[in-house]
Amino acid sequence: MNVTRARLSDGREIVYYDEAPGRVPVPDPRGLPPAAARCEIRHDPLTGDPVTITAHRNARTFLPPPDRCPLCPGGPASEVPDPGYDVAVFENRFPSFAGPGCCEVVCFTDEHGASVARLPARRVRTIIDAWADRTAALSALPGVAQVYPFENRGVEIGVTLHHPHGQIYAYPYVTPRTGRMLDMAARHGGDLFAGVLAAERAGGRVVLHGEHWTAYVPAAARWPVEVHLMPHRHVPDMAALTAPERDELAVLYPDLLRRCDALDDAPLPYVAAWHQAPVGEGRDLIRLHLQLFSIRRAPGKIKYLAGSESGMAAWINDVPPEDTAARLAAG
C-alpha cells in the first residue's frame, strides 16, 4: 500500500491509499473558506447518554446527481481533486464532532456505481489497510476515546451520497453500546467474546468461516438481517490485525455482502458497523468485530423502530435468527 497525504483548499487533510506508487496530488481548485463546524455535546440527565448537537449538518449535500457527486474524482464539486484513486480518506466537511473527536469519509473506489460486495479482494484489502492506518492515527489524537469505522448503504438506511463510501468517527467519549459491552465483559470475568464465539461456532447459525474469522447470526439478533463477523483471537482493533487475518477478511467480507444482496435478489440496505475497543481502559475486554444489519424484513417491507425500540430500547425481531442464518449460509 502506498500512502500520499495532501490538503484540500480549506485546510482539511486528504489521504490517498494506492495499490501502486507514483501519485502526485492535484491541488484542490475550489478555494473553499476554512471549515467552521459547530458541534456541542450535551448529556441526557436521566440516562447519562451523550447527544451531539450539529446544526451545520442540516445543510449537507443530499443525494446529488452523478455529475455533482462530491466523491467522484476530479469533478467540479469533488472533495477528491485527483482524476482517479483507489481508496481516499478525507476529513468530513460536515463533521459530527469538532475539536475533541474527528469525522472522516472513506471513499472505497472512484467508480460511482460500484459496491464493496463486487470489489476485488485486492481493493478490499486496501480498504482494510486504510481502516487500520486511520484507526491508529485517530487513536493517537488527544481527546479521542474510541474509533468507529462504518458504512451506511442504501437510501432506506438514510445515505445522502450514492457513491460507495463509509465513515470513521473518532469519538471524544466511549459510546453507550461499548460501555454496556464493557460492563458485561467485566461481569463475565473472562474473555466474554471467546465464549460467545465458541457457542456460536458450535451452534447452527454459522454463515461462513475461515482459518481466522467466523460469521454468524447471533442468537439474540435485534434486526431482521444481522450478522456478526469475529476474529478467532482477541484483537482490540483493525490496527492489531496480522497480514494473514487481513488477507482472509478481504475475501470473506465481500462474500458476506454478496450473500446479503442475494437474500431478496436486490441490493440490501445495511449498516456495517466495526466495533473496536476503546483507546484507553478496556482494550483487553472488547474484541474487534463486525455487526452488519439491515432494516429490511421482507421484500418491500421495512422494520421501523417504533414504540418499543425507540421509546424503551426493548427490541422485538419478527424474523427468527435461525431462518436468516440458513438463507445466508445457502448463499
Closest CA to 317 of 227, 230, 190, 223: 223
The residue annotated as part of the active site, out of 165, 212, 228, 289, is: 165
d(CA 41, CA 99) in angstroms, rounded, equals 11
Please say if 165 is a catalytic residue. Answer: yes
Dig out the grid coordinates for 257 from the structure: 455482502
- Whether the CA torsion 317, 318, 324, 325 is positive or negative: it is positive
Helices 176-188 and 192-202 meet at what angle, rounded to 10?
Answer: 90
d(CA 46, CA 270) in angstroms, rounded, equals 31
List of residues 6+ apart from 140 with CB closer than 8 A: none
96-129 burial by CB neighbour count: b if 16+ within 10 A, else e?
bbbebbbbbbbbbbbeeeebbbebebebbbbbbb
Please check whether residue 167 is in contact with residue 92, taking contact to mean a CB–CB distance below 8 angstroms.
Answer: yes
d(CA 264, CA 258) in angstroms, rounded, equals 11
Calculate the CA 323 to chain-centre distance.
Answer: 25
Would you name the residues annotated as active-site residues? Answer: 165
